[in-house]
Chain A
Amino acid sequence: MLLNLNRMGPGRYVLYGIGVLTALFLLLPVAFIAALSFGSSQWLQFPPPGWTLKWYAAIFNDPRWVESIWTSVKVAFTVMVLSIALGLPAAFALVRGKFPGRTLLHAFFISPMIVPVIILAIALYVFVLKFGLNGTFIAFVAAHLIVALPFSVICIVNSLEGFDESTEKAAIVCGATKAEAIFRVTLPAIRLGIFSAALFSFLASWDEVVLGIFMASPTLQTLPVRMWTTLRQDLTPVIASVSTLLIALTIVIMIITAFLRRRYAR
Chain B
Amino acid sequence: MLWEIDLWPREGMPNRDAESVVADVQALGLANGDLCVTAARGFLIQSDQLNREQVERLAAELFVDTVTEEYRLADAGDKGLKAPPPSSALRGKQPRLFQVLFKPGVMDPVSQSAEAAVRDFGWHVEGVRTLRKYWLAGACDEEVVAIGKEVLANDAIELLIDGPLPFDRLPAGSANDFELRTVSIRGLDDAGLMKLSREGQLYLQLAEMQTIQRHFAALQRDPTDIELETIAQTWSEHCSHKTLAGRIAYQDEHGERLFENMLKETIFEATQELRRKWGDDDWCVSVFKDNSGVVRFDEQFNVTFKVETHNHPSAIEPYGGANTGLGGVIRDTIGTGLGAKPVCNTDVFCFAPPETPHGELPPGVLHPKLVMRKVVEGVRDYGNRMGIPTVNGAVFFDPRYLGNPLVYCGSVGLIPRDKSFKQPMPNDLIVAVGGRTGRDGIHGATFSSAELTQESESISGGAVQIGNAIEEKKLLDVMLAARDRNLFSAITDCGAGGFSSAVGEMGEEIGAVVHLDRAPMKYAGLTYTEIWISEAQERVVLSVPEEKWPELELLCASEGVEATVIGRFEPTGRLSLKYRGETVGELAMEFLHKGRPPVVRQAKFLRPATGELRAKNDLAVVRRSEDASGGRDFSEVLLRILGSPNVASKEWIIRQYDHEVQGGSVIKPLVGATCDGPSDAAVVRPVLGSRRGIVIANGMNPRYGEFDPYHMAASAIDEAIRNCVAVGADPRQIALLDNFCWGDCERAETLGSLVRAALACHDLAIALETPFISGKDSLNNEFRYVDDAGNRQVIAIPPSLLISALGQVEDVSRCVTMDLKQAGNSLYLVGETKDELGGSHYALVNDLEEGAVPTVDATRGKITFAAMHRAISAGLIAACHDLSEGGLAAAAAEMAFAGGLGVDIQLNEASDLPIEALLFSESNSRFLCEVRPENASRFEAALVEVPLARVGNVRACNQFNVQADGGEVIRTSLERLKESWQRRTV
Asked if chains A and B come from one complex, the reply is: no
Residues of A within 8 A of B (CB): none
